[in-house]
Amino acid sequence: MTSFPTLSDCQLTLDNGVATLLFDRHDVRNELTGTEIAADIVRVCEWINSCSDVGVLIITGAGSSFCAGGNIHDMAERRKMFAKPPMEIQEHYRRGIQAMALAVYGLEVPAIAAINGAAVGAGLDLACMCDIRIGSAHAKMGETFVNLGIIPGDGGAWFLPRIVGDQRAAEMAFSGRIISAEEALDYGLLLEVVPPEELAGRSQALAREFAAKPRTALRIAKRLLRSSRRMELPDFLDMCAGLQGLCHTTEEHEDAVAAMVARLRK
């Protein structure tokens, strides 16, 4: 196994193929614009893509928030990145939070967001970049940019409609309202809602189930799910045929088939 990446504002663990990234800036509700969390996420995604020991990534927050997105006080007082001229702010987005979006989207293993509390603004969008979202009953979610007179500069307007549909995404983006965990479940934003004390256990159980599958097939399955959004069916089927040919030649496939045959013989 390659050594862990060096992180500033997060903690990373790895257990039986499940990597867990904990946002550890609960003092500022795990915000993105005033911390190194976004950069840490990029480092972890790059590390995972080069590390075959990882089968699944879980991301979650320390404290009462999953991720609060931007720092409103910095915006109000025009501090840090918000004090820059427009072109420098644009570059900060491109090299910061947008780099995070591309890294999470390009992650080769399943990503599970374990949403322990508020996920608002860029925090919601970060959750939407993941494949699966499990929410605590205390979770609150909102596409809140319009309330501040700004837009989702992290790509949220691309991710959100693909999860909840165009009409619901429009309502959330235009109203900027906060929704409960139960509403998020109804919208399809969350796969499940669990009591707060069960969030970590349920997320780990789901991750271990995925991580136990053949790793090559797991990564290729995720690649196919991503590619299906932008490819025409004939081209997509052609790619599937080629990748399936590769899968049929792997030791993982041979071992999985042998195990299945042994179970059927019992």
Q: What's the one-letter identity of residue 212?
A: A
Range 12-42 burial, b when 16+ CB lie within 10 A, else e = bebeebbbbbbbbbeebbbbbbbbebbbbbb
**Residue 94: pLDDT over 70:** yes
**Residue 149: pLDDT over 70:** yes
Which helix (H) or strand (E) is 122 found in, with range?
helix 122-129
Question: pLDDT tens digits, residue range 240-256?
Answer: 999 999 999 999 999 99
**Which of 46, 76, 196, 187 is closest to 135 using CA atoms?**
196
In the block, tokens 């790619």 appear at 239
Question: Is 252 strand, coil or helix?
Answer: helix
Sheet with 118-120, side-by-side order of all strands: 65-67, 118-120, 140-142, 179-180
Q: Are 120 and 64 in contact (CB under 8 A)?
A: no
pLDDT for residue 1: 56
Reported residue count of the chain is 266
Q: Are 127 and 113 in contact (CB under 8 A)?
A: yes
**Residue 58: pLDDT over 60:** yes
Give the pair of three-digit tokens for residue 240: 């599937």
pLDDT for residue 144: 97
Q: Are 112 and 56 in contact (CB under 8 A)?
A: yes
Question: pLDDT tens digits, residue range 177-226?
Answer: 999 999 999 999 999 999 999 999 999 999 999 999 999 999 999 999 99
What is the average pLDDT value for the chain, to the nearest integer?
A: 95
Give the pair of three-digit tokens for residue 207: 């991750």
Q: What's the one-letter identity of residue 162?
A: R
Percent of the chain with pLDDT over 70: 99
**Which of 206, 201, 200, 152 is closest to 174 using CA atoms?**
152
Which helix (H) or strand (E) is 113 found in, with range?
strand 111-115
Beta-carbon contacts of residue 40 (< 8 Å; ≥ 6 apart): 5, 7, 8, 9, 10, 21
